[in-house]
Chain A
Amino acid sequence: MADYTDTATAVCENEDRKMFDDLVSRYHRQIYNVAYRMAGNAADAEDLTQETFVKAFRFFHRYKRDMPFDNWLYRIMSNLHVDMIRRRPKAHIRSLDEPLQFQEGEAQMEIRDESEGPEDLALSGELDSEMQKVLNTLSKDFRMTVILSDIEGLSYEEVSEAMGCSIGTVRSRLHRGRRLLREKLKPYLERS
């Protein structure tokens, strides 16, 4: 009986593992994309992606099958990203609005003014990097909300599920986040 139980458990574990490996193959690009937008660089994005899947595997038995798997991964990633920021106190995010302090006085940071049009910038990938820089200036909750809604195309209900907050909070964060982005991207948006 004990042997049978052990074998059955082993078979279930093997099946879970096989299923999980399939999920890794299916979702790793999507998760990496969001991780890249959250972290802002490739090295941190890969770390964040790997940590997300490892944690998801550890708690796979707690995954409720009625929730989309990617939404569950976003939720794990959101929490892990907070931990990652906490572990690195030296790497702090500076707002573009925050003046730089010098001995001679203060100076305002500005996004480089490009002479090319948005289409050309988009083609060369520079607009992409500028938008990423602007995205990095948002707080992590605003950033995640904008990424999930505008880049991943999730509905408010799905974002609220992935971030563990109410739909009203999602609406408010998105409204304020877009307003901040709009101010910083105004030069590009006016040209387009």
Chain B
Amino acid sequence: MNCSKVQSLISAYVDCELPGVEMLALRDHLRDCPDCSAEHDYTLKVKRAFGGLRPTVPPPGLADRIISRIDQASHASQENGLANWRKRLTVFPGQLRFVAATMGVFAMLLTLRGGQLYPTIPFPQNEQVASISDADPGRMFPATSGVKYGHLVMAPSPSPIESWSVSSRSGGGMMPAGYSMPR
């Protein structure tokens, strides 16, 4: 082992952090080499000088101040958590209102249509429609005979066939009996 190698390992030798074989090789070299031995002595002095420094005494009440800081930090984090939730709730009120209004309108429409999104009403035969419209052309149920929901007027319909009529007000299209377009 040459001097350069030994001097690079002296610090670890002083700390006894080398494998046994290297420890022995360095010890043998230091015994015979005055330069490396002087290097070893300086390194050992530095280690001992810093190891011998007196421990710094903390200011009185430091532990209490640390615990108090932890209390403050944990309260602050709890408040921040609540504030974040409040912030999340206040970010969306406009959107929530819009969603609630849309859902309300949708629910109302569902109620009016008997709880079905797309009611399956059998399409009537042309003859039957024609006969009904011939018998009572442009017949409209009086508003007072049914239940009024806004602009729509519902009337009790006796049978599925009779419940269809041709209305001139709906542009000649088919619509269930009892429904009339608003004036």
| Residues of chain A having any CB pair with chain B under 8 Å | 20-21, 24-25, 28-29, 32-33, 36-37, 42, 45-46, 49-50, 53-54, 57-58, 122, 125, 127-128, 131, 135, 146-147, 149-151, 153, 155-156, 171, 174-175, 178, 181-182, 185-186, 188-189, 192
| A131-B66 in contact (CB<8A) | no
| A28-B58 in contact (CB<8A) | yes
What's the Cα separation between A25 and B55 when bound, in Å? 17
Least Cβ–Cβ distance between B155 and chain A, in angstroms = 53
Least Cβ–Cβ distance between B65 and chain A, in angstroms = 7
Residue of B nearest to A186 (CB): B42
| A54-B11 in contact (CB<8A) | no
Known A20-B70, A178-B46; judge A171-B63 contact (CB<8 A).
no
Question: Interface code B54-98, partner A: CB below 8 Å = 1, 0 otherwise?
Answer: 111111001101110110011001000000000000000000000
Residue of A nearest to B74 (CB): A57
| A185-B53 in contact (CB<8A) | no
Q: Which B residues lie within 8 Å of A36 (CB)?
A: 56
Residue of B nearest to A51 (CB): B69
Q: Which B residues lie within 8 Å of A186 (CB)?
A: 42
| B56-A45 in contact (CB<8A) | yes
What's the Cα separation between A145 and B63 when bound, in Å? 26
Which bucket holds chain B's interface residue count? 20 to 34
Q: Which B residues lie within 8 Å of A171 (CB)?
A: 11-12, 17
Instruction: Choose one: A28, A128, A175; the contact of B8 (CB below 8 Å).
Output: A175
Least Cβ–Cβ distance between A130 and chain B, in angstroms = 10
B135 within 8 A of A: no
What's the Cα separation between A70 and B11 when bound, in Å? 24
B27 within 8 A of A: no
Q: Which A residues lie within 8 Å of B57 (CB)?
A: 29
| A128-B11 in contact (CB<8A) | no
What's the Cα separation between A192 and B10 when bound, in Å? 20
What's the Cα separation between A42 and B53 when bound, in Å? 16
Q: In residues 35-50 of chain B, which contact A (Cβ within 8 Å)?
A: 42-43, 45-47, 49-50
Residue of A nearest to B56 (CB): A36
| B51-A153 in contact (CB<8A) | yes
Residue of B nearest to A150 (CB): B50
B127 within 8 A of A: no
| A189-B42 in contact (CB<8A) | yes
| B51-A151 in contact (CB<8A) | yes
Q: Sample 13 A-B pairs with CB under 8 A, ordered by A number.
A: A20-B70, A21-B70, A29-B55, A32-B56, A32-B58, A32-B62, A37-B56, A150-B46, A155-B17, A156-B12, A186-B42, A188-B49, A189-B46
